[in-house]
Chain A
Amino acid sequence: MTLPAVTEAGLRPDLAVISEWIEPGSRILDLGCGDGTLLDHLAGTRQVRGYGMEIDAANVSRCVARGVNVIQADLDDGLRDFATDAFDYVVLTQTLQALARPDQALTEILRVGHRAIVTFPNFGHWRVRLQLLRGRMPLTPTLPDQWYNSPNIHLCTVNDFEALCAAQHWTCLRRSLLDHTHRQGKRINALPNLFAEVALYLLEDDT
């Protein structure tokens, strides 16, 4: 997806929301941590300790250069290495829809982490629905790729995601729904599945 403008603090708005959810001094695993921006920010502002997981070699070097702990591995392979409840939070931003089995990945995330922070593009947004009604796969600010070259293979709506959480007995502790500039609004609160473009969840496993 395209990255929205950064906040005045220099952080992407969705990452700013996530960092507010994280208790100071926590242990964190950031899956697909990119160049380590979030972990770097959290280390500086909330004294968290943690690791990023990243598959891209250039990003791994960027993390190392800024002093962010990073483990080069893909998500499925990498999570197996961590003990149960090794982290207070495991963060997965805008990647869920690209995984082979999002349900299994979330189960594994909630094994490794006490809590999970998950963000994804909402496939129920009106712009998506409108384009499907016109008979074409949607192209939107949060879903900019063509159907044939998109990494997204398991897109879901806000309602779909919450149904999965209920079925798996995952408690949603917090939810934040944003538009594509990653801001909240009245319309989103009134009809979230129609107006939210980006969904952020804080989950815990009840079982």
Chain B
Amino acid sequence: MLKDLITPQNANVFVGKLGDILEKAIDKPLGYAINWGRIWSLWPVHIETACCSVEFGAASSPRYDVERFGIIEAFGSLRQCDLVVVQGTITRKMAPRLRLVYDQMPEPKYVIAMGACAITGGLYFDSYNVLPGIDGILPVDVYVPGCPPRPETLIQGCMLLQEKIKRMKARKFV
């Protein structure tokens, strides 16, 4: 029966459909496993944009130790990262670079906007060189308020992101 269905004319279409079916089939049993893998290996890019990087550094310090939640310290190349923590103010000079960094990262990728400046411009709402929030250039997953946010707040933001990933459809990015 299958042999009748697949002809040389519609083979490509059929394979495409098969991909969809496979994705749907995998998503239920294996999506949880895929997401589980993503949750516990979030690698942030080492891009510091403003003063919130001090508290980002403090979050990796022995007292707060964000690594126990599966967020690893920012080392290494952006090609192996899947998380951008936008640490504060984005100036007009930094904005194109931030977008460039985001575009070079492989899927799936997540964005945490850390600090009031990254959310709305914060204290610098009337500055001539500061973007009013990063929503215009990046799709943000979690907003972490504060100026600067305490490390506990950042950790909570990371855990919220993990919660969000858990509920995401894994096939979105497959």
Co-assembled chains A and B: no
